[in-house]
Amino acid sequence: MGEHQEASEGGAEQDREATPSRSSMGYCILLVHGLNRLGALVGRWGAAALTVSMLLLVLLFSWKTVQQNEIWLSREALFRSGIQTLPHNAKVHYNYANFLKDRGQNEEAIHHYKTALRLYPRHASAMNNLGTLTHSGEEAELYYRKALDINPQHNRALFNLGNLLKSQGKEEEAEGILKESIRFGPQFADAYSSLASLYADQKRFAEASEIYTKGIENCPDSSDLHNNYGVFLVDTGNGEQAAIHYQHAVRLKPSHYVAMVNLARLLRSSNESNEAELWYKRALQVVRKVDILTPLGALYYNTGRYEEALRVYQEAASLQPDNPDVSLALAQVLAMAGRSIEAEKMTLGIISRSSSCIECYRLLSAIYSRQGNHTEALEALDKALQQKPADPAVKAELLFSMGNQLREMNELDRAFESYKLAVALKPDQSQAWMNMGGIQHIKGDYAAARVYYQRALLLSPGSRLLKENLAKLDRLEKKRQGS
């Protein structure tokens, strides 16, 4: 599954900066000329007093200039100055709220949006932006609807309300509102993506494709639309066309790392590992993120490049040291690289923070089994089963692994029962059927062994080992009959 690019909120409205007028030079000339005439009239002592006064005045204005320059050093200082100078100006509060919202200072942003609305209750954009910062769905919906009461054509508020309703399962109303958002903002790319994804969720694939196509026609420069259409195409089985749209997204926006990762994932699923690696690395040139590092690490791991996988996962773990999935992946690589002690220590650390980590126990079992500690391996698998995995397939795999450990410990009856439980949950486990046949073979029950071998052969008709076991069984039965 690929990643949709998240829609961004509307840009903040900004005031334009004033520029000095050329007439200011004329005023300066007149001021100097006036001062010269005044000096000539007041005499020598008066001129001295006037000079001192002017010097003080220059120093005063210089000090004021330095203060004003400090205000212009940053956007935040400029906005704060505006609030102090014009505390009753709604637009100043709205612009400052937008700045705070972009900085992630949401509580302060909410305060200034509400102040803007108190000063100007019909500020639709402030109402809409308040909705985006509200945690409660009901409260957000109220703000969006108030924004639309003020301006029924506010396509950003329409889009936000449509998305909210979609997330609440009110799909019919969401569809109508998103259509309105497109009608009032035909160049608003996010609205096309949202409506198309709604259709895709409803399995209305032809309509979804039509909306994406229409959006790309009206918003040809939207890299996100091309990326999102690519995700849709992958989900509907058209990977070749998806690759074209991912590449187009990157051409439109060379820093679009989401499209790069989606393209890499697509190439990797087609076994084009070298090309996929190049795209992952290109995405990492834009930003070093765990979401890019981990699939690259998985690519290296699955192709046996454990040292490279180790370096990538170590970087991912340094970025998110408390992420259990990243830590577990790193532990798995350490185990495969022969660094069992480090892998065990890291896995036990994850379990100490989250004892319900089934994969952690499974990894511990593999580490202990490789060391020949089958009792400890069995105990780890038992702890994994104690977590009561909801997926029957996971439970079946754990039972199969338990059967393997018991077989290594020569506890054949217990191993057989474990395999039997595994195939009851997941009947397509060819290896479990074969191992059950092998146990009966060893115990001399050739008829039962043949049944299990043949069941396994139906699932794996090309298995040479199964055919060899059946041939051995034939020879033993003939020998028994001959005797």
The pLDDT value given to residue 71: 44
Alpha-carbon torsion (326, 329, 331, 334), positive or negative: negative
How many CB atoms are closer than 10 A to CB 107?
A: 8
CA 416 – CA 422 distance, rounded (Å): 10
- Residue 328 banded pLDDT, cuts 50, 70, 90: very high
pLDDT tier at 27, thresholds 50, 70, 90: low
Whole-number Å distance between alpha carbons of 351 and 384: 11
Average pLDDT over every residue of 287-308: 95
pLDDT over threshold 60, residue 401 = yes
Lowest mean pLDDT among 137-141, 239-243, 293-297, 307-311: 137-141
Residue showing tokens 């089994």: 369
**Two tokens, residue 62:** 């210089």
Average pLDDT of the residues of the chain: 87
Q: What is the CATH number of domain 430-483?
A: 1.25.40.10
| pLDDT of 47 higher than 80 | no
Using the 8-state DSSP alphabet, how is residue 135 labeled?
S
Q: d(Cα 218, Cα 30) in Å, to the nearest integer?
A: 57
Lowest-confidence region among 326-330, 359-363, 431-435, 466-470: 466-470
CA-closest candidate to residue 439, choices 416, 468, 473:
416
pLDDT band of 41, cuts 50, 70, 90: low
pLDDT grade for 82, boundaries at 50, 70 and 90: confident
Check whether 15 has a pLDDT greater than 50.
no
Distances (CA, A) of 418 to 116, 187, 203, 261, 398: 68, 61, 41, 41, 9
- Give the type of residue at 426: K
Nearest to 444 by CA among 414, 473, 482: 473
Residue 66 has pLDDT above 90, yes or no: no
Per-residue pLDDT, 295: 96
pLDDT band for position 83 (cuts 50, 70, 90)? confident
User: How confident is the model over 59-86, as a mean pLDDT?
Assistant: 63
Mean pLDDT of the region 288-314? 95
Residues 400, 415: Cα–Cα separation, whole Å = 9
User: What's the average model confidence in pLDDT over 188-217?
Assistant: 96
What is the full DSSP assignment across 388-454?
A: --S-HHHHHHHHHHHHHHHHHTT-HHHHHHHHHHHHHH-TT-HHHHHHHHHHHHHHT-HHHHHHHHH
pLDDT confidence band for 251 (50 / 70 / 90): very high
pLDDT of residue 445: 93
pLDDT at 99: 87
Strand, helix or coil at 329? Answer: helix
The alpha-carbon radius of gyration of the chain (Å, integer) is 35
Per the structure block, which two tokens stand in for 7? Answer: 């829609």
Is 22 in a helix, a strand, or coil? coil
Closest CA to 82 of 179, 168, 17: 17
pLDDT tens digits, 430-463: 999 999 999 999 999 999 999 999 999 999 999 9
Please report, for the chain, the start and end positions of each structural domain, with discontinuous segments joined by +: 430-483
Look-up: residue for tokens 């795999």?
Answer: 397
Model pLDDT, residue 11: 37
